[in-house]
Amino acid sequence: MTSRIDIERVLDGYLAEGPERVADPALLRALDAIDQTKQRRDLFAPWRFNQMVIYPRLAAVALVAVIAVGGAMYMLGQRNPVGVPAPTASPVVPTQAPSAAAAQVTAGPVDTSLWSPFKSAFYGYTVKYPGGGWIQGPAAGHWDYATQDGADADTLWSPTGWPDFNAFETKLPAGMTGDEFLREFTADAVIHACYPQPAAWTHTTVDGHPATIAYAGCNEHFYFAQAAVVIGKRIWIFNLDGPDRSLIVPFLSTVTIDPSAVVD
């Protein structure tokens, strides 16, 4: 315990030292680079709704109202004899402006044929990931469930770091089934981290093996999908961190698992 306290104190001091200000030429270079860069615009990016000025929006609502009222009057005029008062048209409810969440797009069919291969050094699986600046972050060692320690997951980072795909594998504790492990492994998350109950998990297959996928997320900033594959006494966990959680499906479609290739 002493060593843990010491290392934290030492790191506090060590990392407090160092430069705090960037040199002006470096900042100017960065600003120049920004000037030469175009912003990326998506069809469904929220800015489009922000950018839509109020008058065209009102005009659109008014146009809908006019058409609805006019259409209703026309139809009623056709059906009602002269002298019979026509009922008033129902009030038109403006369509709710699309929210950012509603603009979320799903991955849909994704062509993975040109994706780059990644082979795990420790966990006995391969996967493919998109090109275009994604970088590999291989684990430095094998994750160990018993100590919640060990190196890390393999991580494949998108150019912006969001989303990322990460994976690891571990032996099931003695006497524990895959389902029991998953329930225990996710119990804390179910309570505290907006993780769905097992009944809400999706069942699928990965490389021919039965698998579950849980789509989790606490809020619009924190999404992830987590897939689990149990083969014999081992379990593989694949995570897709990012707003478009359905992206986990094309990743999983490229996964191959070879339990004999695991390096414990």
Partner 1 sequence: MDRDLVEQAQLGDREAFGILARTRADRLYAIGQRILRDVDRAEDAMQQALVIAWRELPRLRDPDRFDAWLNRLLVNACYAEARRRRDWGANIRLLPVDGPLVEDGTRQIADRDELDRGFRRLPPEQRAILVLHHYIGLSPEEVAETLGIPAGTARSRLHYAHRAMRAALEAVARSAAIAGQGIS
Per CB under 8 A, which of residues 90..129 are in contact with partner 1?
A: 100
Is residue 54 at the binding interface for partner 1, with CB under 8 A as the rule? no
Q: Which is nearer to partner 1, 74 or 162 (CB)?
A: 162
Tokens of 21: 């200000």
Token couple for 31: 């600003």
Amino acid occupying residue 262: V
Look at strands 135-137 and 123-129 and give their pairing: unpaired
Segment lying near partner 1 (by CB under 8 A), choices 85-93, 111-119, 142-150, 248-256: 142-150
CA distances from 205 to 22, 113, 230, 231 (A): 50, 19, 11, 12
Among the listed ranges 45-53, 62-70, 197-205, 244-252, the one in contact with partner 1 (CB under 8 A) is 45-53
Is residue 88 within 8 A of residue 27, CB to CB? The reply is: no
Provide the minimum distance between the beta carbon of 133 and partner 1 in the complex, in angstroms, as a whole number. 8
Nearer to partner 1 among residue 78 and residue 148 (C-beta): 148
Q: Which of residues 171-230 bind partner 1 (CB under 8 A)?
A: 188-189, 192-193, 220-222, 224
| Cβ count within 10 A of residue 138 | 16
Residue 1: CB minimum distance to partner 1, A? 9
Give the dihedral sign, CA 19/20/21/27: positive
Q: Which of 11, 58, 63, 73 binds partner 1 (CB under 8 A)?
A: 11
**Chosen residue from 123, 127, 153, 255 binding partner 1 by CB under 8 A:** 153
User: How many other CB atoms sit within 10 Å of the CB of residue 226?
Assistant: 24
Q: Which residue of 71, 77, 94, 159 would you call a contact of partner 1, by CB under 8 A? A: 159
**Site for partner 1 contains 163 (CB under 8 A):** yes
Q: In sequence order, which residues have a C-beta less than 8 Å from that of residue 224 and are 6 or more positions away?
A: 216, 217, 239, 240, 241, 242, 245
Q: Which of 58, 135, 177, 233 binds partner 1 (CB under 8 A)?
A: 135
Binds partner 1 (CB under 8 A): choice among 202, 243, 244, 261: 243
Query: Minimum distance between the CB of residue 116 and partner 1, rounded to whole angstroms?
Result: 14
Is 161 a binding residue for partner 1 by CB under 8 A? The answer is yes
Q: Does 160 bind partner 1 (CB under 8 A)?
A: yes
H or E segment to which residue 252 belongs? helix 248-253
Binding of residue 20 to partner 1 (CB under 8 A): yes
Show Cβ contacts of residue 216 under 8 Å, excluding neighbours closer than 6 positions. 189, 193, 194, 195, 196, 223, 224, 225, 226
> Which residue, 41 or 203, is less far from partner 1 as judged by CB?
41
Taking CB under 8 A as the binding criterion, the range among 47-55, 74-82, 198-206, 250-258 that sits at the site for partner 1 is: 47-55
Site for partner 1 in 219-238 (CB under 8 A): 220-222, 224
* Contact in structure between 163 and 190 (CB atoms under 8 Å): no
- How far, in Å, CA of 126 to CA of 120, rounded? 6
Residue number with CB closer to partner 1 (6 or 180): 6
